[in-house]
Structures are given as C-alpha cells and as structure tokens.
Structure 1
C-alpha cells in the first residue's frame, strides 16, 4: 500500500519565515548560492567518511558527488557532511589499536551533532569500512529520520605467482613473517599486489558482512550488497538511493519502523548463513540499543545458530570469491534461500516488505549460494560458548567443519597482559604445544576500546602451533578463520573482574565447541579468594576520546554502547 506523502510545511527543516532561526539560516544559505525554492526542499545529509589515508574510503568523494546530483534531480537539497574514517589497517598503529571500536561511536555522535543540530530531514549514508556501517546505523536508529545506506563496494584483490592475494592474507602473512614462516621479500611482494582498486576488504570479513547486514535489516536497497566498488552496478545503486531517500522523506518512512526485532533476527540469520564476521553481533546489539529494541542479540545468534545452515563459502572460510557471490545473487540471494526461516513481513526502506522484495529473486549459482536442503554445512560457523571462564559469553568462529577441525581443547593456561608480550614469548620458543594462551586486558573497558588479538593468533599459526595451542581473549578477532581453537570477546572482561581476570599460569582450561562450553577448572573457593583480591583497574587515560569512552561504555552484551540506560543494565 502506498504511503501518504507529506507537504513541505511539515518538514522539520522548514522554519517559520520571519523567525530568528529562519533569518540567520537564510542569510547563510543565500551566501552559499541557494534560492528560496531550494530552501523549502527536503534537506538530505550525505554522510561521507572520505579519507586520503585508506583505500577503502578513497573513492567516496566521487560517490558523494553523484549521490548529490541524484538527490537534486529528485527534488531534494543535499548537504555533504564528513565524519571520522576508521580503517583497521591504518588507525590501528596508536594506543595498541584501541581507537578502532570507539570510533564507531564517535561517528554516531558526529552525525547526531551535524544532522540533529541542523534539523535536516533525511540521511544518505555512504557505507565503507568496518566501523562506519554500524556507526551510521546507530545514528540512524538514534535520530529516527528517514535514512538509507548506500553500499560503496569492495576492492579488487590481486594475484602473485598465479595465486590469489588480498589484504587479509597480507595481515595473516605478516604474522607468519614475525615467526620466520614468510620471508620479508614474499610479504613485500604480497603488499604490492593485494589491492587493485578502491573499496573494502574483498572477503567476507566485517565490512562485507555488515553491508549484507544493512540490507538484511532493510536499511539498504534490495540487491545492494555486495557490490564491486566503482562498478556500473554500484553507480546505479547510488543514483537509485539518491532518488529513493527523497521519497522516503516525503513518505516519512523512518528507521524505527524498519529496525524491528524481526529485522534484527533476520540480519542474524543472514550473517550466520554467510558465515560472516563475529563482530556483527556486538554491532547489531549496539544498533538495537539505539533503536530502543529490547532484544538480546547474543541470545538471538545462539538460538539461530542451532538451525541456520551455512549456505555460502566465501573467502576466507571457503573457496568462492566475493565476485562470485555477488554474481550468484549476494545477500538477496542468501535471503531468498533462507526465506522459509525469515520473518518476511518486516518492512524495508523500499516501502515494501521483505517478502515483496524477494518475490521475483532467483539465485544464479546453486553452488555459490546453496539451497537450504543442500548447504555447505549444517552446523554453525559461529558458536557462542558459556561456562565458568565466560559466564556471559565467548565466541568462536569455526567456519566450515572439516574432519581435522579441532572442536575441543584442554590444557594449562599461559597468561599474557599484552599481545606484544605473548608474541615475544612465542618468538623466544617459550610457548609449548598443548597450552591455552590467555590474552586479557583487551576488552572495551580494559583496552580501552577493545584491542585486537588476531596478530597473536596469526603469529601462533606462523610458528606452526596453530592446531596445537588454543587462544582465549577478551579482545576482538579478525574475520579470518583460524586453524586452531580461538575464543574471542570473553565476557565479563578483565576490567570488570570477570573470571578471565582470575586465571593464573597452569590453571586448566577446557573448551568444547560441540557442548558450547568453556570452563576454568579451578575450585570455586579458590576463585572466591582470587576474586576478593582483584583490584579494579584505574582509568588508563586522563584526557581525550578514549578517556571518555573508557568511563562511559557498557559491556559487549549491551553493544559497547554509550547510552546511559545500557550502562545501568550492567550494574
């Protein structure tokens, strides 16, 4: 059913003529060359995270220009605004890589200041690297004005000596090089060939996973994800989105009509079916908090992982390229296969339900996107664990199950307070087969900002110990699948006095993915003594953004949100 359309007088950006707000705004905008006719049009923020420091953002200025042209052609008035541009591979150099996750929330707040402060009518979000997508979706949910996500595409990867090479493999082999398993010359040559165009990492890492999630939530146009950066398909989507956002403003179609509990459950199902990034879980939880949806996304993933099969096997978990996945139907193809398991009455940004969006969809390649009754895998690629070491949760990215895939591990703990210390011990040969490496102080509060543990994991694999040691951390992990058993995002984290803070060298730890358990085999009385002796850490920073984040952030089970109500739930 077509939605009723508003008139210009109802737009919040159109102030009453003669008022002080009208007068000073008109003076500013007349000086910018805008006409009185322009000033009554729907005013759309084109949210751009352009940056010259990272290839994933390098093409966004051109996209913004085309999007603004499409908005003008549809009768809207675009205003381009800029936010931070966090690339995991660029701004991870400082403060132990802890700026990455907090920048997500910085983006959301930056958008709020510029869009809410100016009382604009809608937002067109140019999505790119990992943290920009959830940051933009959080702002959309918070401000609840018509918003549309524009998927800005993945980069082309390359070849070296006839073999595929991409940025994730460069990251992996840097860990190998640290242990002497990959030569400097080989690593250097990989960096020369890994990236062949603008756009985000080409595998099913966090960026492409979040692009699919945006479409599954109903916040991107049907068939939007994934898409090759600067391709004809991407440009067609940009123009369609520029036109559609103006209609969304006239229809007053808002994010909170779209971001329902059903939409979040659908997004979880799609991410599980695509064996996507575990980082999507905390991002979806943060978006749900901003949208006012009372939903435990971690519980949703736990429940849905028991029934949603793995339908795609895109690198790094399988042999298929992101290009092949796009050609087969992409996220929309996954949703078509999953249709019997989805809540298809969910409304989307198109103004239609998910069922209507999927009505004429056909999957082009049955091997790339498998049918429900013939999946790549029937068991979950993402598994949530609980137990005495992780009373709230710990997450394992299993990927596709193979006969040699280790699903259980028991061994003595080796505790490290930093990734650098662990890597030094590894290089010195002080880590033994059969040990469980416990890397803590990496959580949202303990980092602060959640340090990455993947560098250590890749170094372990480079040392030839990937299948023979386990890693447990309260930090986050890359989207790559590891050979060994790696448990990330253990909650409660070290800074909150969780059991991971009480582990000592030699304590036995047992992990069982099939049983979904992770146990610290220490008598309860002994743990009580250790807990009584634990001293909560003092804030690590006295000033700056990380100081603000450290003092205000909630735990991961509430999305690492800065919303006060979410923090209250932690206590």
Structure 2
C-alpha cells in the first residue's frame, strides 16, 4: 500500500475525550453553549409520601431557574425522604434516622459521580436537612441549602392544631376525655396542606440552625411552604450558589466552629428540638469541626429561651414568620452580643452584614420575648450525665414545672411494650419509665417516641412521669423526657442493667441522671448480661454494624476513633 494513502493517527485532545460525556448530556437538553457553563446540581427531596416534601418539585425548578439566570447549567436530581409523622409509632420509624445517611450518601454520590461544580439542596422533612448538610460537607463544592418551609397550622373549634394534637388526641381518647368522633375531627384538620410540621419541631429547628450557620439564604428558614416567598428563596439560592462558585467560597469556609456556635445559640433561644444536638454533632463531624456535648452545655448556660413556640408554647413557625422571622430573632441576638457576626455566609457576606439592614421584630408581636423577660434565663436543651448516662443524654425542659423526679423504674425493652403498659394504666404518677434497646445500634435506627410521649400527655401523665430512653424523641415531644442515653443498652451501657423497682433520679436543673444502685451491684449484673444479636439485613443491618454512639452524632463513617467511648 502506498504510504501516502495511509490514514495518519491523531493525538486525541482532552476536549475530544469529552465527546461521549457531551453526547449523553445533549440527550437531556444541553446545547453547545451549556458546555461552557459550570454544571450546578439541584438536589430535590420531592416526594408524595409526606406533605413536608409534596411541593418541592416546583421549588427545584425555581432554583434551577436561578442557576440558569446567573449563567450556570442546572441539573435537577432527586433523593429519598421518610415521613417521621407517618412512620411514628410503627416499625417504619427505625428507618428515619438511617435515612439521614442515605440522603447524605446519595447526594454525595451524584455530585461526585457527575462531577458537578456546585449544588443547591432543598429539604422538607426532618432528616432531609442534616442529610443535605452532611453531603455538602463531604462533597466540598460550593453549595446552598433551602428549606421547603413550614405547613400552615390546622384549625379546629377556633384553635390552632397540628400533628402533635393528633398524637395527644389518641391519649385523650384512651383516657375517655374525648370520643372517637372528636378524634376524627382532630385527625382531619391537623395538616391542611404542604410543608413541614408547624411547631418548633425538628424540621423548623434544623432550618433555623442552618440559617444561623450561614448555609441558607437570610430569612428563608421561617418563610412558609405555600408562599411566593419560598419560591423566591429557591430562585435566590440558585443565584447565590453561582456567586459562591465564582468567588471560590466552599462549605468549609462557612461551617466553622463559630458558625456551629451560632446555630446552637439560635436553637437554644427558640427552644428547638433535642434532635438538633444529634444532627449538629453529625454535620460537624462531616466538615471536620471539633464539636461535642460540652459546647452545648457551655452555650446553654448563657443563652436565654425567648420563643413561645410549640410544643411547650402557644405559637407555630408561621406565627414567627409574621412576627419578623428567624432573621429578626438573629438580629436581636446579635445586638445582645450572643452571635458571632464575623461568620461568612452563602451570600458571600458576613452574618453581621446580612443583618445590618434586616427588619427587626414586628412591633407588638408576642411570639418572641425580650431577653429581660425570657421564658428561661438559660437554654431549654439540657445535657445530663451520671452513672446512668456516662457519655451523656439530652432533655428538653421548656415549659416544665417539674424539673426533677426520683421514682421507681418501670423497664421495657421496646417502645411497643411500654406503650401497651401505658394504655393499660400500668404506668403511674411518679414512675420513671425506661425504654431501652432503642438506640442507634439496638433499635436499630434510634426511633423517635412521639407516640408514647403524646399518649402520656393525653392521659394527663406528661408532668407526672419521667420517660427515659436510649432512643430519640420527636421535636414535638414535651414533658420530663430524656433521650440519647449513652452508651446505649445494646453496647452495654448502664441502662441495660436497670431492673424494675430501681430508684432513679432525673434532675434536669443540675444535669444529672442517677441510678441509685451500687457500682458493685451493677458490675454483677453486667457479668450475667449479653447483648441481643444485631440486626443483620439490608439498610438497618448496615446501619447497626457501622453507626457510632449518639453522643458522637450517630454517624456511619467514623472509622478512625472508638465509637462508644465512655466519659467517666
């Protein structure tokens, strides 16, 4: 063959190597000009399984429009959600906390696998928010979080009601205080539309914390779900993430130790959910910030509780929105010297710069108290320690008149057994109700126990019985309840060795949780104890075998440290 006729091989350029990638993207609508733009993801948690997320598909589109308007190429993708309110009191609740890890893993996987340059994440139900923030910490690309927003309050007989009203209604019905028809009315009127549960429960707590941390747009955490404000939040987030990309601002630049302290401060001031402790510890672990229970104790002592919000107060998140919102509360706290104003935020400005021209609280509002007339002089989220919880436990004491109790233990190895005993009137005023083997490993999944706590309140025992568990409580729970007891029973924590009739003291004022049994006796009980077998199947099996202690955030990627270190 004539050498001159041979086809000479060409060196393939880097741009040419990308041709297959571009071909795939052309199929989803990319044009030539889009390949010159940064690819920015929109992580949507849209789902029809819960009102918290039913509207997020439209919000994701709004965020994409903000990205496109700024010069980015937007790509929407989805992740999962589990409805805590629907799964509460069922075996499904064991999947709730593990869903936080699934959400984080899946978002990190898409962002990394598709080589996205930045992303916006939009969350609704409780675990969406920490799941999204953990993913942002791991993905290490510019990112902004948007809260899907709170639900409107339901209304019955001229009074606002919500999902917690239904759980408490079950207890009232069991007690004979209301009939089945009245319970049905509560059920049918509690949740009137889209959005997350309305009180200062876990979703609204975490949304507020994330705004305080600087990872969401100013004012966005208290904007209700079904408003134009919420759509604007998403559009602005799309613009903001493009700005962060241009300026080279990453999550690690925003989620600093000071930023976490701001988040804890706002949670304390608002009287947020105990779950905030668990989630903030997990997010801090993901971003590499040294945060522990001692930080919560330190901030709790200096930040007053000033918000009259449910579950212990009168108002819901929509009322706070109308009173000026979380941003107005932050402005007040900054003026009082309780926030770090020099923290960077997703606007590219500092917290102080964001708040400088923000509106304050609406004149005449009654949701937020002046600091001089605070509901408590310190925060309502209290860390307890003692020989029953060497690694710590968490209680929410807002609205409590009885802050300590010493009584006999009534011990149950599952929530189902304990609930049955409550409904059969086997739990009496003065009892200390213990529910164990419900921790991260033992549950598995550390289920929330709004159902049983709501039934206790409905039966008039909410102020007369202490409820202790190595599991969790919903943000809607109130009463003398202590969760996150660590080490958990499954790991051989002292809660595993409690017997019926043992005397226990719960003292939330002094942060003490004491089992009045001699150390020698506990050691004898330990010798005759062996842990139940861990769950070994599917998602819950993976979770049970990898999850860390609750006092370390119940994370599943802690491979470098002892997971169940006991504080002695």
- Please tell me the TM-score bracket, short chain as reference: over 0.9
- Residue 388 of structure 1: aligned partner: 387
1:350 aligned to 341, 347, 363, which one?
347
2:220 is paired with a residue whose SS is coil
The equivalent residue for 2:362 is 364
Contact 1:561 1:567 in 2 (8 A): no
Deviations 1:547-569 (A, max 9, x none): 11110011112111111346535
SS in structure 2 opposite 1:341?
Answer: coil
**1:129 equivalent in alignment to 2:128:** no
Deviation sequence 1:9-40 (CA, Å, 0-9, x none): xxxxxx93022xx1221111122231121012
**What's the CA shift for 1:357?**
1.1
Q: Give 1:178 shift.
A: 4.2
Residue of structure 2 equivalent to 1:473:
469
* Residue segments in structure 2 that go unaligned for 5+ positions in a row: 1-12
CA distance in 1: counterparts of 2:484 and 2:564, whole angstroms: 16
CA distance in 2, matches of 1:430, 1:320: 33
Which residue among 246, 261, 283 is the counterpart of 1:287? 283
Native 8 Å contact 1:52 1:58 kept in 2: yes
**Conservation of the 8 A alpha-carbon contact between 1:228 and 1:234:** yes
Structure-2 change in CA distance of 1:566 and 1:378 (3 Å): farther
Instruction: State the Cα distance separating 1:262 from its structure 2 match.
Output: 0.5
Supply the distance in 1 between the matched residues of 2:318 and 2:80 (Cα, whole angstroms): 28
Distance in 1, Cα, partners of 2:116 & 2:368: 40
Q: Relative to structure 1, is the Cα distance of residues 95 and 429 closer, same or farther in structure 2, using a 3 angstrom cutoff?
A: closer
More displaced 10-residue stretch of structure 1: 441-450 or 322-331 = 322-331
Aligned partners of 2:399, 2:454: CA distance in 1, in Å? Answer: 19
Partner of 2:447: 451
Residue 196 of structure 2: aligned partner? 200
| Residue ranges of structure 1 left out of the alignment (5+ in a row) | 1-14
Which of 389, 405, 409 pairs up with 1:409? 405
Please give the alpha-carbon distance, in whole angstroms, between the structure 2 residues aligned to 1:321 and 1:106: 29
Contact 1:409/1:512, CA 8 A, preserved across alignment: yes
Question: 1:324: how far off?
Answer: 2.4
With over 3 angstroms needed to count, the CA separation of the structure-2 counterparts of 1:528 and 1:372, relative to structure 1, is same
Aligned to 1:549: 543
CA distance, structure 2, for counterparts of residue 395 and residue 82 of structure 1: 33
1:503 is aligned to 2:489? no
Range 98-107 or range 82-91, more displaced = 82-91
Aligned length: 549
Match of 1:10 in 2: none
Check if 1:317 corresponds to 2:312.
yes
CA distance in 1, matches of 2:558, 2:221: 33
- Pair 1:491 & 2:490 matched: no
Q: CA RMSD in A?
A: 1.7
- The CA deviation at 1:272 is 0.1
Secondary structure (helix, strand or coil) at the match of 1:99 reads helix
Structure 1 CA distance, aligned partners of 2:208 and 2:38? 28
Q: Displacement of 1:150 after TM fit? A: 1.3
Query: How far apart in 1 are the matches of 2:78 and 2:87?
Result: 17
SS of residue matched to 1:126: strand
What's 1:305 paired with?
A: 300
Aligned to 1:150, the other structure's residue is in SS state strand
Residues 36-82 of structure 1: CA distance to partner in whole angstroms, max 9, x if unpaired? 21012111110111111211111111111222122111111111111
Specify whether residues 299 and 16 from structure 1 end up closer, same or farther in structure 2 by C-alpha distance, changes over 3 A only. Answer: farther
Whole-angstrom CA distance in 1 between matches of 2:533 and 2:361? 54
Mapped to 2, the partners of 1:481 and 1:569 lie a distance apart of 28
Which one is further off, 415-424 or 100-109?
415-424
Residue 3 of structure 1: aligned partner: none
Q: Deviations over 1:259-300 (max 9, x none)?
A: 10000011000000000111011100000000011221x221
Give the Cα separation in 2 of the matches to 1:299 and 1:148: 29
Greater Cα shift, 305-314 or 264-273: 305-314
Question: What SS class does the counterpart of residue 229 from structure 2 fall into?
Answer: helix
Q: CA–CA distance in 2 between the matches of 1:70 and 1:378? A: 42
Which residue in the other structure is 1:252 paired with? Answer: 248
TM-score if structure 1 supplies the norm length? Answer: 0.93
Residue 523 of structure 1 corresponds to 518
- State the Cα distance separating 1:400 from its structure 2 match: 3.3
- Structure 2: how far apart are the matches of 1:545 and 1:194? 32
Q: List aligned pairs for 1:209-248, cutoff 5 A.
A: 209-248=205-244
Cα displacement (A) at 1:248: 1.3
* Residues 365-407 of structure 1, C-alpha deviations (whole Å, 9 max, x = no match): 4633333333232133111111111112121111135xxx111
